[in-house]
Structure 1
C-alpha cells in the first residue's frame, strides 16, 4: 500500500506518517528531509526530485509526508492508494506548531534534515496563518479532493485522527 499525507503546516502530517509507518512497518519519506539540507539550506530541485523518485521506485509500499508541489506531487498522488489530507484549522495548527517548538527547541526532529533545528519565527507563523492558506493553496487542495475523491481521507482534528487510527486496528 502507498500512502501520501498532505495538509497544512502544523497539522500533524509527520506524526501521522511515523505512526502509520510503525503500524504497517512501511518506510516513511519526510519531504522536509528532501527539501532541506543542514541549516535550512534548500536542496537543488533536480537532486530532490531524484531522491523522491528513487524512494518511490525502490519501495513497493511507502508513506510520503509533505506537500512540495515540485517534488513529484502529481506522481505521488497518482500512485498513492490512500491520500490523507490533514485539514486542521489555523488555530490548531498554530498551537501544535508552537507545542512542537517547545518540545524540540534547539533540536532536530526525526522528520527534518540534520542540522535543521526546530524554529517558530515570524515567517513560519505567517505561513501557518496566511501564506500556507492562500487562494492558490486552497484551490490546489480542492482540486486534489475532487480529482482523487475515491481515495482521499480528510481529517480535521485530533479526534478524527484517533478514530482513523483506531479503525486501522480492525481492518
Structure 2
C-alpha cells in the first residue's frame, strides 16, 4: 500500500500520515523532515531528491507533504491512494495556533531535528494567502481530475473523522 497525503499547511497531513503509518504498519515519511536541517536551514535540493527517491523504493509507504519540485509526479503515479486535505484557511490557522501552543520550544515528531515549532507572520500569511495561490488550487484540481479513482478529498474535521473511522473498520 502506498499513500500520498497533500494539501494546505496545518490541515493535519502529518497527524493523519502518522496514524495511517501505524495503522497499516508501513513506513511514514514527513517531507519536512527531509527538507530541513537544524535551525530551519534547507537541505540541498539534490540531497532531498536522492533521499526521497530511496524512500520511494519501499514496497509500501505513507508520504505526506507537498514539495511539488521533488518526485511529485512519481509519488502520485505510484500511490494507491491520494488524500487531499483542503481545510479552510481559518481552520488551518486555528490548527497552526493550537499546534504552536502545544509544541512551542519543542520539535514535533514530523519535523526535522533542531527545528523547534514556530509561528511567525510569514507562516500565517502562507496559511491564509500565499499557500492557496491559484497555481496550488489548479494543481489540486488537476490531481483530483487526473486520479479520480484514487483521490479522497477531506474538506473539514468531520470528513477527516469519518475517513479515520472507515480506516479503523
Q: What is the TM-score normalised by the length of structure 1?
A: 0.97
Equivalent residue of 1:162, what SS? helix
1:115-126 to structure 2, matched below 5 A, reads 115-126=114-125
Question: Following superposition, which runs of at least 4 residues in structure 1 exceed 4 angstroms of deviation?
Answer: none
Report the aligned-residue RMSD: 0.6
Distance in 2 of aligned mates of 1:158 and 1:22:
20
* Equivalent position SS for 2:4: strand
Matched positions, count: 169
Equivalent-residue separation in structure 1 for 2:16 and 2:85 (angstroms):
9
- Deviation per CA, 1:96-148: give whole Å up to 9, x if none: 01100000000000101001010110000000000000111111111111111
Tell me how far apart the structure 2 counterparts of residues 70 and 60 of structure 1 sit (CA, whole Å).
Answer: 23
Match of 1:109, SS state, is: coil
Q: Give the secondary structure class of the aligned counterpart of 1:85.
A: strand
Q: Secondary structure at the match of 2:67?
A: coil
Query: Which ranges in structure 1 are unaligned for 5 or more consecutive residues?
Result: none
Q: Secondary structure at the match of 1:55?
A: helix
- List gaps (5 residues or longer) in structure 2: none
Q: How does 1:103-122 map to 2 (within 5 A)?
A: 103-122=102-121
Structure 1 CA distance for aligned equivalents of residues 33 and 61 of structure 2: 16
1:52-104 residue CA offsets vs partner (Å, 9 max, x unmatched): 010111x1110000000111111001100000000100000000011000000
